[in-house]
Amino acid sequence: MPTVHRERADVHYDVQGSGAPVLLVAGTGYAGATWHPDFVAALAVDHAVITFDHRGTGRSSGTDGLYSTELFARDALGVLDAAALGPAHVVGHSMGGRVAQWMAIERPRSVASLVLASTGAGAPTRVDVGRVGIPIATVLGLLDKDFDTFIADAQRRTFFTERYADAGGAMVEWLLSAYLESRPRIEDYLKHVQARQAHSARADIGRITAPTLIVVGAQDTHTGATGSHFDQSIELSGLIEGSVMEILPGLKHGIFWEGMDACVELLGSWIGRVAVA
């Protein structure tokens, strides 16, 4: 697995397939290994699919000091530079969508298109990440349970529909195992949470010029520390001029896992439309 050194961190990444590059940007505390191999392989039939470990997750080193979505965006841009495959279609899920926003704002030439999945523009105004606390629900959850149980409960409740989870859907156990095998240290996880909470691209979101697809599950309505992902996605579609909105029926936050086939088809169609345009 190749590595790029960015701002004191060794960031690990991987490339599979060939063709127009697609960069997958994961969510809070998630490493590249949490993208299911079948999902990556399906995209890699026609594209060079790039996955990477956020600093402090998987095989990427953590660093002292605070994290931010801007810092994660610089890491991701460093990965694109190292891969040297040209402008990428950037697919960001949850916090990864917030990171993707900064990538498109700060380095538009590196972003062929954006797919902002289950995400939002963040806080109403810019705040110093050092002045952002950890959400009470997260603190209480970590105090009440061990970290593994806290993550397992959060994933099952918010990522997967009750019907799918109760039926023993294979992705429930797979995603938990993939997360725990590449899990961040508690300190790094909490710094990821802080970065997510402090994100606000509202003052700069109008600078996004890349073709943008906003996608969210119709049932992704759980009100978490940053609000409902469904409501945030709807709002985001109004903030980014010319963006396209897709609402996936019968899915919650884990659209790329429970709804893998639909997402592969959607991404293939989107990239094809952008290429034609």
What residues of the chain score a pLDDT lower than 50?
none
How many other β-carbons are positioned within 10 Å of the β-carbon of residue 7? 12
Cβ atoms of 33 and 27 closer than 8 Å: no
Helix, strand, coil abundance in the chain, percent, nearest 5: 45, 20, 35
Over residues 87-135, the pLDDT tens digits come to 999 999 999 999 999 999 999 999 999 999 999 999 888 888 988 889 9
Question: Nearest 5 degrees, angle CA 216-CA 81-CA 88?
Answer: 35
Give residue 230's pLDDT. 97
- What domains sit in the chain, N to C, each tagged with a CATH number? 3-276 (3.40.50.1820)
Strand partners, 11: 4
Give residue 227's pLDDT. 83
Give residue 236's pLDDT. 97
Give residue 127's pLDDT. 84
140: CB partners within 8 A, 6+ apart: none
Q: Distance between CA atoms of 90 and 230, rounded to whole angstroms?
A: 20
Give residue 275's pLDDT. 87
Beta strand pairing status for 212-217 and 111-117? Answer: parallel
